[in-house]
């Protein structure tokens, strides 16, 4: 090779490297509402999710992604602030009488992106927002339930498509990179509010008489008689019918994802946009949403990069939290995360290399409320082998939220219990209500979390280590419940520089 040829190759390599490094200009976050792993990509053979499966094939599919809180508003706040719900103050639902908002000093992604880029990055949200206060979550472009009926902006995929087109046109005209969040309302339940539309609003917009029409939706009907039931649910026809309705709305969500991605292509943004798909929490079934059990916290997660050198059509076993979305978005825009108090870490390195798994890899959970009446704070550490849950209000019955209470599945469980009928479920309603203070499970050998090991002598050391790690995480993230339930946290006056837990004397009582 001559010197001239060498220089040409070197220059070409530098140009290519520069182009690859600059490919990600924008970030698109697709967020489902109460969806679990009901996707073909996660080996569900019934739920038809062609667009999500295609996204998974061109991206990185996560097998160990977890939400830190199994409730809608707190989960959305963790995504947008990078902090656990006890740190950001979104302890429960934002809307109506629940009235939770983040703490005064908390800022979210749209505000931080605006500040760090001097307004150069355009932020937008379409669909369900469900966080507050408004000034703490101020997007440049907003079309949400604050301006529209929630179904029209969260389930009407034609409206979502049109507002996505409007936002992308604005980004194109202004020549700005963008962060766009699409908050789908599917497959959230709606039967307790609008039962005429079906338990999951699966009839709404189908074109049936009185149901209206969503022009871009081609409804997929599922024969409930052919469906397998996940192991954590009662094996009944009532559950099969609920799954058929849930899958129908998941397919609507999936078609909405396809429409949004098509708009991205039509504006020539597909080649420079990082796409993320996940869900706020698990499905609204027993042992799932509002629980820190696996079905409540295990999340679908896809990270699809336009960069040719990044990983595509692969899976990762990395242990990640939805709190990591915050740092990932900042990293995609090459902006720093300059506060060590955040629980968030960037997932961008996973696009290049799979980390070596360690048995003590861990994610954490912090659930305090859902509805304002559901006072049942829980904290959790989940490693690759074990999960430890601390139920801080363990002397109370585990609370049930309103839309789940009216669901056919829960009503069947409730009525079977009241009438002492046999029900093919892996646990009893009494054991579901009455929980010990500490729950320790070997996730590898007990995927259903049926055998609590907290009182077993042979797990004494495991319990001690996990308790200490959980306590350290709570302390590092300024958890107000750090000393609960047996002590009071004193962090003022003479204890300001050295906070302590002062006993309530429960042991003596």
C-alpha–C-alpha distance, residues 343 and 320, integer Å:
11
Cis peptide before 170 (omega within 30 of 0): no
Other C-beta atoms lying within 10 Å of the C-beta of residue 353:
9
Answer left, alpha or beta for residue 127, where phi above 0 means left and psi between -120 and 50 means alpha: left
**Is 501 an annotated catalytic residue?**
no
Q: At what angle do helices 157-174 and 237-266 cross, to 10 degrees?
A: 30
List the one residue out of 36, 105, 75 whose CA is nearest residue 369.
Answer: 75
HEC profile of 360-395: CCEEEEEECCCCCCCCCCEEEEEECCEEEEEECCCC
The alpha carbon dihedral of 192, 197, 203, 206 has a sign of negative
Backbone φ and ψ of 469, nearest 5°: -65, -40
Residues 171 and 189 sit within 8 Å (Cβ to Cβ): no
Q: At what angle do helices 72-81 and 109-116 cross, to 10 degrees?
A: 20
C-alpha–C-alpha distance, residues 258 and 49, integer Å:
10
Q: What is the enclosing helix (H) or strand (E) of 439?
A: strand 438-442
Burial (CB < 10 A; 0-12, 13-18, 19+), residue 141, is: middle
CA 180-186-192 angle, to 5 degrees, is 135
C-alpha–C-alpha distance, residues 267 and 289, integer Å:
37
Cβ neighbors of 457 (< 8 A, separation 6 or more) are none
Residues 130 and 96 sit within 8 Å (Cβ to Cβ): no
C-alpha–C-alpha distance, residues 324 and 303, integer Å:
12
The b-or-e profile of 357-371 (16+ CB within 10 A means b, else e) is: eeeebbbbbbbbbbb
According to DSSP, residue 399 is labeled P
Residues 253 and 187 sit within 8 Å (Cβ to Cβ): yes
Give me the residues paired with residue 489 across strands: 501
Give me the residues paired with residue 391 across strands: 378
Residue 2 token pair = 């001559």
Cis peptide before 310 (omega within 30 of 0): no
Chain-centroid distance of CA 340 in Å reads 22
Q: How many CA atoms lie within 13 A of 270 on its CB side?
A: 14
Catalytic residues: 72
């Amino acid at each position: 090779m001559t010197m001239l040829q060498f220089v040409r190759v070197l220059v070409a390599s530098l140009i290519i490297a520069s182009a690859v490094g600059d490919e990600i200009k924008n970030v698109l976050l697709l967020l489902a509402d109460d969806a679990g792993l009901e996707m073909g990509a996660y080996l569900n053979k019934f739920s038809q999710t062609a667009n999500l499966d295609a996204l998974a094939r061109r991206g990185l599919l996560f097998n160990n992604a977890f939400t830190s809180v199994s409730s809608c508003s707190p989960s959305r706040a963790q995504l947008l602030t990078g902090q656990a719900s006890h740190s950001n103050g979104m302890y429960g639902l934002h809307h109506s009488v629940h009235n939770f908002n983040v703490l005064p000093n908390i800022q979210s992604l749209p505000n931080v992106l605006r500040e760090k880029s001097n307004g150069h990055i355009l932020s937008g949200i379409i669909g369900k927002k469900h966080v507050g206060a408004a000034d703490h979550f101020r997007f440049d472009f907003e079309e949400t339930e604050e301006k529209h009926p929630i179904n029209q902006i969260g389930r009407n995929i034609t409206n979502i498509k049109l507002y996505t087109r409007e936002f992308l046109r604005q980004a194109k005209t202004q020549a700005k990179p963008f962060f766009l969040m699409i908050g789908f309302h599917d497959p959230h339940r709606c039967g307790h509010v609008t039962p005429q539309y079906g338990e999951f609003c699966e009839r709404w917009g189908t074109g049936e008489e009185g149901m209206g029409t969503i022009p871009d939706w081609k409804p997929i009907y599922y024969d409930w008689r052919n469906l397998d039931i996940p192991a954590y649910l009662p094996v009944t026809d009532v559950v099969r019918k609920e799954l058929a309705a849930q899958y129908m709305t998941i397919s609507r969500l999936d078609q909405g994802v396809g429409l949004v991605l098509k708009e991205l292509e039509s504006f020539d943004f597909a080649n420079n946009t990082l796409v993320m798909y996940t869900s706020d929490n698990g499905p609204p079934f027993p042992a799932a949403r509002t629980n820190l059990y696996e079905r409540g916290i295990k999340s679908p997660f896809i990270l699809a990069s336009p960069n040719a050198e990044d990983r595509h059509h692969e899976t990762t076993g990395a242990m990640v939290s939805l709190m990591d979305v915050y740092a990932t978005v900042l990293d995609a825009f090459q902006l720093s995360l300059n506060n060590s108090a955040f629980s968030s870490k960037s997932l961008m390195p996973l696009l290049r290399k799979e980390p070596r798994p360690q048995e003590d890899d861990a994610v954490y959970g912090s659930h305090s409320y859902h509805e304002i009446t559901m006072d049942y704070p829980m904290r959790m550490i989940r490693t690759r082998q074990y999960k430890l849950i601390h139920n801080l209000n363990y002397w109370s019955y585990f609370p049930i939220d309103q839309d789940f209470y009216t669901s056919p599945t829960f009503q069947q469980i409730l009525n079977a219990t009241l009438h002492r009928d046999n029900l093919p479920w892996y646990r009893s309603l009494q054991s579901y209500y009455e929980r010990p203070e500490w729950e320790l499970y070997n996730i590898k050998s007990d995927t259903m979390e049926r055998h609590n090991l907290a009182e077993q002598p042979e797990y004494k050391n495991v319990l001690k280590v996990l308790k200490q790690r959980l306590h350290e995480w709570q302390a590092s993230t300024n958890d107000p419940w750090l000393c609960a339930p047996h002590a009071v946290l004193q962090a003022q006056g003479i204890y300001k520089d050295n906070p302590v837990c002062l006993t309530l004397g429960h042991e003596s009582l």
